[in-house]
């Protein structure tokens, strides 16, 4: 990635999954907004920050984010824009209420709800046609070499994007590299593995002009220190339980600021 974070801001995001109740989600969001409004890494544009609450919280969280630099994500969407699909939420409605991006293909959706490649491809299509930025999760199931991991995850991206690109849809995506074997682990994947796989994903994205502006970030037990150890070669983080303390996010933003100062 370029050395200047001003030219290429790091992307930092948090998914709350289904850990919080409604009141706690809103209190957490308000605290994150306070951090974002005052932190120099966000104010300077060195970082792009997003949060992904549960579906019932999207509208009140959108109101809390109003006027702030924090983007709003949803945890999923339907492949269709309307119809008799009880329990589903359409990309059309997500866009209408002000959602910016949508998480697709998380390993939990794939394993617990048996989402197929075709399901994921349909959701990516739905996101792009509704002008939502897809946050596409990719990762190898078992630990492998970085070269094998790059082949695996870029093949996943090919399959997930094929329907949308075949129909001429275009736009930036966030590729969240989350090796399945590292999700929920005590430690993230080894630093050199993360750097190598992210570089491979970035090289793949650079070959897809219809995806101009796309970024690759790391998830899977991500936490403080990783960006610093990556020495500017990690384009961002997708955080989980570490960020349940909203002020822990400031720790990551401090790292971004330090990287920006020394770039």
Helix (H, G, I), strand (E, B) or coil at 15: strand
49 inside domain: no
Q: What is the pLDDT of residue 19?
A: 97
109 inside domain: yes
Q: 181 lies in which domain range?
A: 10-37+97-261
172 inside domain: yes
- Angle, alpha carbons 61-218-23 (nearest 5°): 20
Active-site positions? 106, 178
CA proximity to 132, closest of 77, 103, 95: 95
Q: What is the pLDDT along the chain (263 residues), one digit of tens a residue?
A: 433 334 469 999 999 999 999 999 999 999 999 999 999 999 999 999 999 999 999 999 999 999 999 999 999 999 999 999 999 999 999 999 999 999 999 999 999 999 999 999 999 999 999 999 999 999 999 999 999 999 999 999 999 999 999 999 999 999 999 998 888 777 778 999 999 999 999 999 999 999 999 999 999 878 889 999 998 899 999 998 999 999 999 999 999 999 887 76
Let me know how long the chain is.
263
* Residue 257 parent element (H or E): helix 248-261
79 inside domain: no
Kindly report the CATH number assigned to the domain that includes residue 201: 3.20.20.70
N-term to C-term CA, the chain: 12
pLDDT tens figures, 64-112? 999 999 999 999 999 999 999 999 999 999 999 999 999 999 999 999 9
53 inside domain: no
Looking at residue 131, the DSSP 8-state letter turns out to be: T
23 inside domain: yes
189 inside domain: yes
- Cα–Cα distance for residue pair 53/65, rounded to 1 Å: 12
Q: How many CA atoms lie within 13 A of 182 on its CB side?
A: 25
Structural domain count of the chain: 1
């Amino acid at each position: 990635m370029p050395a200047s974070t001003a030219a290429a801001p790091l992307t930092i995001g948090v998914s709350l999954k289904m850990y919080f109740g409604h009141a706690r989600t809103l209190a957490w969001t308000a605290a994150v907004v306070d951090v974002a409004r005052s932190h120099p890494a966000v104010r300077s544009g060195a970082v792009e920050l997003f949060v992904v609450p549960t579906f019932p919280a999207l509208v009140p969280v959108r109101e809390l984010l109003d006027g702030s630099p924090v983007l709003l994500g949803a945890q999923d969407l339907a492949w269709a824009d309307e119809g008799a699909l009880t329990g589903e939420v359409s990309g059309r409605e997500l866009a209408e209420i002000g959602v910016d991006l949508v998480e697709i293909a998380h390993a939990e959706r794939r394993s617990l709800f048996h989402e197929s490649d075709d399901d994921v491809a349909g959701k990516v299509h739905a996101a792009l046609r509704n002008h939502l930025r897809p946050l596409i999760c990719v990762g190898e199931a078992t630990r492998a070499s970085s070269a094998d991991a790059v082949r695996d995850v870029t093949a996943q991206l090919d399959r997930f994007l094929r329907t949308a690109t075949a129909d001429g849809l275009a736009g930036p995506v966030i590729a969240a590299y989350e090796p399945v074997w590292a999700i929920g682990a005590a430690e993230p994947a080894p630093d050199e593995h993360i750097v190598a796989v992210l570089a491979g994903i970035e090289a793949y994205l650079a070959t897809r002009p219809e995806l101009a502006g796309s970024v690759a970030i790391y998830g899977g037990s991500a936490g403080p220190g990783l960006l610093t150890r990556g020495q500017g070669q990690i384009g961002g983080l997708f955080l989980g339980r570490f960020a349940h303390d909203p002020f822990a996010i400031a720790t990551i933003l401090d790292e971004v600021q330090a990287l920006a100062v020394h770039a």
